[in-house]
Every structure is written in C-alpha cells, then in structure tokens.
Amino acid sequence: PEWEPDTAHGYHATTYGHLLSELVRRRTGLTVGRYFARHLAEPLGLDAYIGLPAGSDAHLATMLESKAEALMAGADPGEVVELRDATTLTYRATIASMSQDPADPAVEDPSYGGLASAHALARLFAALVGEVDGIRLVGPDVTAELARPHSSGTCEVMLTPLTWGLGVQLADSAVFPADAGLKHSFGLSGANGVFTFADPERELAFGYVPNMGSAVMGSMDGRIRRLVEAVFRSVDRIL
C-alpha cells in the first residue's frame, strides 16, 4: 500500500478490474469476463464483452488515438510533469502498467479492455436503477449504496479532485461535473472518450462511445458535455 488504508484514495486505472476479477473468481469460480457474459450480458442482451469470445461476430470500430493512449505511446505529456517521471505514482499506476502493443480483444482485460456499444452501456446502467425487460440487477438499497460517496478529495494518482461510489464516479469533479446535470448521477468518464451514467431520480441511463478518444485529460470532453446537457434539457422538458 502507498498509504494507510482509509487515509487517501487513488484511481486504480489499470489494476481495478484484475483485483475485482480475482474476487469474483474466488466466489464463483468464473473470471469476471465469464461472469459478466453469463449473468449480465446474456440476460440483458448486451452487445458487450470482457474478452471477445472465439467466433464472435461483434462489430469492432477502428479507434483513433486518444490523449491518454498517445501518452502511453510516448507522446509529450506537456504540463503533466508527473507523467515524465517514472518514479511518480501517477506514472507507475498508469503508463508503466499499460502494454504498448495493440490490445487483443480476445484477452480479458477488465480494467481497460472492455468492449461495448453505447446502447449496451446505457442498458446495463439502466438495469442498475430500474427494470429492463423485467430484469433489475440490484435492488434500490444496493443502488443507493453504489451511489453513496465512499472516497472523496484529491486523487493521489490523477492529482485532481474526484469522488467515487462503489466503482463509479460521482459529482462533483472536472470529469463528472454537477453543472452538466449530473448532480444525482453515477457513472464513468473514460480517458478514451467513453462516458456513461445513470440518474436514479429521473430513471435515466446514458451511454456514449466515440471512435476518437478525448483530446483532453482531467476535464470533461466538450462533445460529451454538449450531449449530456442536451439529454437533461430534453428529459426535464418531458418531466
């Protein structure tokens, strides 16, 4: 541990999924990818995978490089001096633990290698706050616990204020800002441009998957902000 537990927090960008997978495997005998496929993706009809199965006919888009991926490939990090220094926690927890080779979609990489359509992400998050074709993944009490702040303050890895529930980002931060309409939401803003959230009060779920990753780090991509704000304007008009 880099610090005494419960005294600070840091984003496990490349290790979180593997830690979770081992917990799932010890409890169920399945890796997280196989558990996800059997108990979530199949019942909900999700076009989503953690490890693409052999013979799958899933359509994979050609991705253009994001800011985060450019940094991993050796691009100049600019003002983020911590990404120039291999001794810093920021470097060790991100760039140092990422492969420089193109990811193999068949390999289970639950931290960074999930594959999904925007519709699948929205459908998955919708099943956390209500029923989707008769299926609700967790009850209201678990949803409330999921969306309760469990760590808050400056992230020791990303060096920016972040608030986390149980594996999900909460408002208010530069990457998940309350003023975009996300005050009562939980979700995830990915460095590769992916953005997904659920709002239990509005019974709303949203997914955005670009094929060109975010050009910024540490703040909300302008494309995403415009979409999210438009969604909330439309929904609130109806309500």
Helix/strand/coil for 16: helix
- 16-238 — its CATH code? 3.40.710.10
Cβ proximity of 176 and 187 under 8 Å: yes
* Model pLDDT for residues 9-33, shown as the tens digit of each residue: 998 888 888 899 999 999 999 999 9
Q: Which amino acid is at 31?
A: T
12-46 burial: b if 16+ Cβ within 10 Å, else e: bbbeebeebbeebeeeeeebbbbbbbeebbeebeb
H helix and E strand count, the chain = 8, 8
Q: What residue segments make up the domains of the chain, in order of their start?
A: 16-238
| 103-160 per-position pLDDT tens digit | 688 889 898 888 999 999 999 999 999 999 999 999 999 999 999 999 999 999 988 8
So what's the pLDDT on residue 14?
Answer: 83
Amino acid (one-letter) located at 28 = T
| Percent helix, strand and coil across the chain, each to the nearest 5 | 35, 15, 50
